[in-house]
Amino acid sequence: MKRFMPVIIAAVACAVLNSEMIQAAEQQPKVETYSYGTKLDIAKVISVETPARVCEAVPVHMVYEDHQGQRHVLEYRVMGTGCQIH
């Protein structure tokens, strides 16, 4: 029995970790796509993604909280940072 104890502990730890990962994924807000004219309720910006280093419009994400404390993930397009002016 003592030989199997580390295996049992590892299996329980994996099950707990897997359960926590599933709960975290379920709590992630759905990504909303911005379109011109979309009304936004932004009380606090949590994070803004840095655009890719390319010379074209690219999607970025902003995570924010609304006035009710709900988290949102907004996807919108910006110009990449890789354009060079000659």
Please, what is the Cα angle at 25 between 21 and 27, to 5 degrees?
120
Q: Determine the 3-state secondary structure of 63 from DSSP.
A: strand
The pLDDT tens digits of the residues spanning 35-47 come to: 999 999 999 999 9
pTM over 0.75: no
Is residue 55 pLDDT above 90, yes or no? Answer: yes
Percent of the chain with pLDDT over 70: 67
What pLDDT shows up at residue 84? 83
Which among 71, 75, 61, 64 is positioned nearest to 27, based on CA atoms? 71
Percent of the chain with pLDDT over 90: 60
Which among 25, 20, 72, 21 is positioned nearest to 44, based on CA atoms? 72
Domain 5-79 in this protein, CATH class:
mainly beta
